[in-house]
Amino acid sequence: MILLIILSIITIIFFLYAILPSRYFKYIYKKNRREKDKTIYLTFDDGPSEHTNKLLDVLKKYNIKASFFCVANFAKQYPDTIERMSKEKHLICLHSLKHENAYLMSPFKTSNDFSKSLDIMNSLNQKVVYYRPPWGDLNIATLYNLKKHNLKLVLWHVMAEDWESKTSIFEIEVKLLKRIQGSDIICLHDGRGAPNAPLRTIEALDKVIPILLRKGYKFETVDKYYEK
């Protein structure tokens, strides 16, 4: 009986600490999906990686600016890529220190994650303002640190499961063209995932972007989303 009570208390604490805030903000993003216009916000998680420069080439080809939610430890490994992003006027954002799930992070570890991440980004001459937690999961300490460091939380409206090994280039194309509406924040990936998954995403985008442009869509970075 005592063990059951202890487990129940732990479950309640865990629910309030991580599950409730994660579900709440994901729900808010879906509920407050903006009225459609012709603007799309491309965002990329989990990079930079060895594939990111190829993605930047595609974006440059179509004169499109995007937002990159960088894992700080990866950014440290690819300083030249971060510099190129900055020079080409993409928005550089934060996606944690090393992509750990907030469900498994104590308040101390969460705070340490933010501090070390921001130190790395500052060392790369990047003053980040926007933050997306890995998997979109957060905890109470995440919210505290967002306020402490004056960061804005960014989630998404559309994904294409582009990180999965079973997702083909064609499937990414179809999902994007079927799911995207104006004013949507699109979450794709330029790192991690299945082997070579970012290459499939890049190839799919090279086919999808011109279609969206012909339909009259324009592309902006997520800071413009919050300025509206």
Write out pLDDT tens, residues 32-52.
777 778 999 999 999 999 999
Residue with tokens 């990047």: 126
Provide the pLDDT for residue 14: 67
Half-sphere exposure of 142 (CA within 13 A, CB side): 30
CA neighbor of 32 nearest in space, from 116, 141, 157, 120: 157
CA 82 remoteness from chain centre? 16
Q: Structure tokens of 62? A: 């179509």
Q: pLDDT for 54-90, tens place per residue?
A: 999 999 999 999 999 999 999 999 999 999 999 999 9
| pLDDT of 1 higher than 90 | no
Q: What is the CATH number of the domain that holds 166?
A: 3.20.20.370
User: Which residues constitute the domain of residue 21?
Assistant: 2-227
**The model's pTM:** 0.94
Q: Domain count of the chain?
A: 1
